[in-house]
Amino acid sequence: MKIIDLRSDTVSIPTEEMRKVMYTAEIGDDVYQEDTTVNQLEELGAEISGKEAALFVPTGTMGNLLAIMSHTQRGEQVIADEWSHILKFEGGGVGSIAGLSSKEIQVDNGIFTAEIIKEEIVTNDDVHCAQTGLICLENTHNMAGGIVTPLKQMEEIYWLSRQHDIPLHIDGARIFNAATHLKCNLKELSALSDSMMFCLSKGLCSPVGSLLVGTTDFIKTARKHRKTLGGGMRQAGVFAAAGIISLNKMSKRLEEDHENLSLLAEKLQEFNSFNINMANVQTNILMVDLINTEKDADTLVEEMKNVGVLCSAITAKRIRFVTHYYIKKEDISLAIDRISSIIN
């Protein structure tokens, strides 16, 4: 039975073309900055994001943490939303490693506005309060179902951060999905930030790696922190070679994943047991709420697994599907047929 793996876009393996360039890549010691393929990837990342410099990092989590450490002083506070990857799924590094407290903003849908953030900014030198050191924005927003922060909202948040002289970091693990949805250039999004992290290893099919982009000075600081955290890789060019294909090629085909997800959502919506907020179906992540059924998410995920459809339980009554390069239109129809055999 063909397994249709809709758990995450992280399950996408490198393409054949990637494996070939990984084999032949020119490599060197990247801690000495002598890996020409890593250097090439970093130059490309800086160029397409319109930032001065880029740093290749093993994971998005490390990229975010380096950004946080490089922008702030210990004891400051970072503002992010309560369901952000940075606060929820990065092992608490904001506190335990960067030495910061966090202000978790509660928002519907993961999208926060300048108005909400404004209330939470602490800039005065009141001895009682931790000063705001950084604002983090996640785009697309994973837990909110891959939704995209509209440009106008990003602009307002960016201008607020300028007014208060507080750096703004974008957790852009899936920023190319956001750019695809908004039909805009990556530069238009990164221009509204001081730094941005994006993953090569998710929908872009690289086996490993993310890029952190920002000013030359910022990247210099982040490079030092990367070494401290044990992220100074040696012949990392074998991965960077795949990353170059991710940027040049895979970032330009995400519309297909979005179309497939939207098809999946339309079909799943017809089942009585599923409730979907179609307005949130924007990119490659779909959240489905279970209604009119006694079954909880774990049970249903297990049943679907038995018929060869993999997805994730997010809460007791919510499951998540994610499309990627290895999910084709036919797989969506097949998944629907199989799901209809176990649920109504």
Output 114 or 322, the one with its CB closest to ligand PLP.
322
Q: How far is the CB of 166 from ligand PLP (least distance, A)?
A: 20
* 199 touches ligand PLP by CB under 6 A: yes
Determine, following the binding rule CB under 6 A, whether residue 60 of this chain makes contact with ligand PLP.
Answer: yes
**CA distances from residue 184 to 134, 144, 188, 201, 324 in whole angstroms, order as listed:** 26, 21, 7, 22, 20
Alpha helix (H) residue ranges in the chain: 16-24, 36-49, 60-71, 85-88, 93-96, 114-120, 151-164, 175-182, 186-190, 216-228, 237-248, 254-268, 297-306, 329-340
Binding string, 245-284, against ligand PLP, x = CB under 6 A? ----------------------------------------
Site stretch for ligand PLP (CB under 6 A), options 54-62, 107-115, 146-154, 181-189? 54-62
With CB under 6 A as the contact rule, the residue among 210, 251, 262, 284 that binds ligand PLP is 210
* Contact residue for ligand PLP among 76, 171, 194, 331 (CB under 6 A): 171
223 binds ligand PLP (CB under 6 A): no
Among 51, 85, 181, 225, which residue interacts with ligand PLP (rule: CB under 6 A)?
A: 85
Among 49, 102, 142, 251, binds ligand PLP (CB under 6 A): 142
Task: Name the minimum Å distance from CB 174 to ligand PLP.
Answer: 6
Nearest of 341, 249, 326 to residue 284 by alpha carbon: 326
CA distance 190 to 218: 15
Q: By CB under 6 A, is residue 59 in contact with ligand PLP?
A: yes
Q: Which is nearer to ligand PLP, 122 or 244 (CB)?
A: 244
Does 109 participate in binding ligand PLP (rule CB under 6 A)? no
Identify which range of 25-33, 60-68, 124-132, 269-277 contacts ligand PLP by CB under 6 A.
Answer: 60-68
Describe the strand order of the beta sheet including 53-57 as a list of residue ranges: 53-57, 210-214, 195-199, 168-171, 132-138, 77-81, 101-105
Does the footprint of ligand PLP cover residue 61 (CB under 6 A)?
A: yes
By beta carbon distance, the residue nearest ligand PLP is 60
Q: Using the rule CB under 6 A, is 138 a contact of ligand PLP?
A: yes
Which residue, 45 or 271, is less far from ligand PLP as judged by CB?
Answer: 45
| Euclidean distance between CA atoms 75 and 73, whole angstroms | 6
- Report CA Rg, the chain: 20
Helices 36-49 and 237-248 cross at an angle (nearest 10°) of 30
Q: Does 81 bind ligand PLP (CB under 6 A)?
A: no
Distance CA 293, CA 285 (A): 23
**Rounded Cα gap, residues 223 and 229, in angstroms:** 10
- Give the nearest distance from C-beta 199 to ligand PLP in angstroms: 5
Q: Residue count at the site for ligand PLP (CB under 6 A)? A: 12
Stretch that binds ligand PLP, among 56-64, 115-123, 299-307, 318-326 (CB under 6 A): 56-64
Q: How many helices (H) and strands (E) does the chain have?
A: 14, 13
In angstroms, the CA 340 to CA 256 distance is 24
The tokens 């990627």 sit on which residue?
324
Which residue in the set 105, 135, 168, 173 belongs to the binding site for ligand PLP (CB under 6 A)? Answer: 173
Contacts of 293 (CB under 8 A, 6+ apart): 273, 300, 343
Provide the binding-site residues for ligand PLP, judged by CB under 6 A.
Answer: 59-61, 64, 85, 138, 142, 171, 173, 199, 201, 210
